[in-house]
Amino acid sequence: MTGWSNAENFDAIFGRGTEAAQQTSVPLSAATEPVSPPPTPDENPAPLQILIQLDGDDPKEMPPSVILGRSPWGHDAEVWAVTDPTRTVSKNHLRLDRDDAGVVVTDLGSTNGTTITSASGATIRLAPNSSAHAGVGASIRFGGRTLIISN
């Protein structure tokens, strides 16, 4: 998560409205170059390109949000059906939402669970209907399938 979501943090980081910022400000006539204001969230660069690779298949560019499962449905995300002859993947198993540093993974109440293993090897098993962040290099195990996040 970034610090952009909280206006109070933004102001504290850039010193807006604080006594210290007022004491260190330079009169406009003394400035030698124009100074740009701090970036706003809308001016940030495009989100990191994320690729996801399922069980060694060719990597595929991840949309902003995607729901994966045997027979997924959803109205605010793309849906990708996953072939699963063993039926270890739930119909609507997990949701992936891209962010600035990787992917937010949400288990959608699956029967066989979702496990995230970071690039450093730390592992977390998601409780049903819970979320966690997965960075580039992480693997996500859902049912009997494994997904790798890269860029």
Check whether residue 63 and residue 18 sit in a common domain: no
% of residues, the chain, pLDDT over 90:
60
Count CA atoms closer than 13 A to 123's CA, side-chain side. Answer: 5
Check whether residue 121 and residue 139 sit in a common domain: yes
- Tell me which amino acid residue 115 is: T
For residue 10, the SS3 value is helix
- Tell me which amino acid residue 135 is: G
Nearest CA-CA partner of 94 in 62, 52, 61, 128: 128
Check whether residue 76 and residue 140 sit in a common domain: yes
d(CA 117, CA 125): 9
Per-residue pLDDT, 113: 96
Per-residue pLDDT, 34: 53
Check whether residue 60 and residue 110 sit in a common domain: yes
d(CA 123, CA 121): 6
% of residues, the chain, pLDDT over 70:
68
Instruction: Enter the pTM of the model.
Output: 0.68
Per-residue pLDDT, 17: 43
Check whether residue 99 and residue 30 sit in a common domain: no
Check whether residue 79 and residue 8 sit in a common domain: no
| Residue spans of the chain under pLDDT 70 | 1-48
Nearest CA-CA partner of 93 in 79, 62, 52: 79
Per-residue pLDDT, 144: 92
Structural domain boundaries enclosing 142: 51-150
Per-residue pLDDT, 106: 97
CATH code at 141?
2.60.200.20
Question: Number of folded domains in the chain?
Answer: 2
Exposure string of 116-136, with b = 16+ CB inside 10 Å and e = fewer, is: bbbeeeeebebeeeeebbbbb
Per-residue pLDDT, 42: 56
